[in-house]
Amino acid sequence: MQGKIAIEEHFAYDSPDADTARRLEHADSWAETARRLVDFHDLRLKDMDATGIEYAILSLNAPAVQMILEPKEAIEAARRYNDFLAEQVAKRPDRLGGFAALPMQDPEAAAAELTRCVKDLGFPGALVNGFTQKHVPDSVIYYDGPEYRPFWACVEALEVPFYMHPRTAVYERAQPYEGHPWLFSSAWGFAVETSLHVLRLIGSCLFDEYPRLQIVIGHLGERIPYDMWRLDHRIKTIPAGYPARKPMSAYLRANVHITTSGNFSDSTFRCAIAEMGIERILFALDYPMEVMADGANWFDNTPVLTEAERLKIGRTNTIRLFKLPLAA
C-alpha cells in the first residue's frame, strides 16, 4: 500500500541513551539500530520511499525525559529535544511530523510544554515514555494521581492525542525478572508496564472527567485486547471498589487507539480488530527497533484486512485522529 502513515518511529537526540544501549547491547543489529536512530533525512527517508510510507511522526526514544530525576533538568531537556525535532521536521514537513516529549516530573510544566509544542511548533500530539522518575532512582510515578488532572485537562482542551509508549521497569524494582533478562524489556516487560498504566488511568475515572481525551498505545494494545472480556468479568464478579462509571472495555473502545507497532502477527491482529474495531487501530512500525520493510510488507500483505480496511488503518484513521494536513 502506498501512502501509509507511521506513528511510532523513533529518534535519538545525539546518541542513544544509556538505557537504550543497555537493552540492545547484545543484539547483533544494535550498531545499525543506533545509526538509524540519529538519522533523519537519509536512511529513514530512503526506507520510507522503499516501503510506501508517505509520512512518519517521530518521537524521542525511550525512556528519555522520563528517566531524568531533577524536574528542572527534565523541563530544560524536553524543550531542547522538542526544538531539535522541530528543526528536523521543518526540513521535510511533507514527510515528517513530531510528537512532543514532556517533563512529566512537573505536571504544570508538562502542560505548558505540550501547549508550546502544539501551538508554536505544530506538533499533532505527545508521546511520553511511560511512568516518570523524580528525585531518586528508585521512584515510579504514574499519571492517574490528582496532581496530574490539570495536565489531562490541558491535553483534552488542546484536542491532541497522548501516546503512552513503554519503558523498562526501574532496575531496583525489577526483582521478578532476576535471572530472566530476556523478559525484562520489550519481549514482556514493556507490555506489563504500559498496560498497567493505561488500566490505572481508566480505573482512576480519568475518562469520566475528560471524556474527549484520546490515548494511543502500541504493539496491538500491549496485550490488553486479549483480556478485555476477563477484565470486565472479574471486576464485576469480585467487587473491589472499582469507581469508574463504565466497564473498562467501554473506555478502551471510546478513549484508546492501538497501533501495529512491532507486533506483526495475523492472529494477534485479528483479536485486536475483533475487540477494538477497525476505526481504533493505526499503522506504526517501531522503527528502527524494527526493520521498516518487515512491518510494512506484513501490513501490505496480511490477509486479515480488506483493501478498504487497510486504507483506514494505514492512513485515514491517523489523518482523522491527529488532524494531519494530508489528503485522505
Domain boundaries, the chain: 4-322
* Ranges of H-type helices in the chain: 18-24, 30-37, 43-51, 71-91, 107-119, 149-158, 189-203, 206-209, 228-237, 248-255, 266-276, 292-301, 307-311, 317-322
Q: Is the pLDDT of residue 296 over 70?
A: yes
pLDDT (0 to 100) of residue 30: 76
Q: Is the pLDDT of residue 25 over 60?
A: no
Banded model confidence at residue 55, pLDDT cuts 50, 70, 90: very high
User: For the ranges 17-26, 116-125, 128-137, which has the lowest average pLDDT?
Assistant: 17-26
pLDDT (0 to 100) of residue 14: 73
pLDDT (0 to 100) of residue 178: 92
| Residue 202 CA neighbour count, 13 Å, CB half | 24
pLDDT (0 to 100) of residue 15: 55
What digits encode the pLDDT tens for the residues 210-253?
Answer: 999 999 999 999 999 999 999 999 999 998 999 999 999 999 99
Mean pLDDT of 77-91: 98
Banded model confidence at residue 103, pLDDT cuts 50, 70, 90: very high
Question: At 118, phi and psi to the nearest 5?
Answer: -75, -50
Q: Tell me how far apart the alpha carbons of residues 80 and 61 are, in angstroms, rounded to a whole number.
A: 14
* Percentage, residues of the chain above pLDDT 90: 89
Banded model confidence at residue 26, pLDDT cuts 50, 70, 90: low
pLDDT (0 to 100) of residue 241: 94
Q: Is the pLDDT of residue 92 over 80?
A: yes
Q: What are the catalytic residues?
A: 286
What digits encode the pLDDT tens for the residues 246-285?
Answer: 999 999 999 999 999 999 999 999 999 999 999 999 999 9
Domain 4-322 homologous superfamily, CATH: Metal-dependent hydrolases (3.20.20.140)
pLDDT (0 to 100) of residue 32: 86
**Comparing 209 with 20, which gets the higher pLDDT?**
209
pLDDT (0 to 100) of residue 207: 98
pLDDT (0 to 100) of residue 13: 87
Sign of CA dihedral 35, 91, 94, 8: positive
Sign of CA dihedral 52, 223, 137, 74: positive
Q: Tell me how far apart the alpha carbons of residues 325 and 284 are, in angstroms, rounded to a whole number.
A: 18
- Mean of all residue pLDDT scores within the chain: 94
Banded model confidence at residue 295, pLDDT cuts 50, 70, 90: very high
Angle at 209 (CA atoms; ends 162, 241), nearest 5 degrees:
105
φ/ψ bin of 286: left (φ > 0), alpha (ψ from -120 to 50), beta (otherwise): left
pLDDT (0 to 100) of residue 28: 59
User: For the ranges 29-33, 97-101, 155-159, which has the lowest average pLDDT?
Assistant: 29-33
Banded model confidence at residue 174, pLDDT cuts 50, 70, 90: confident
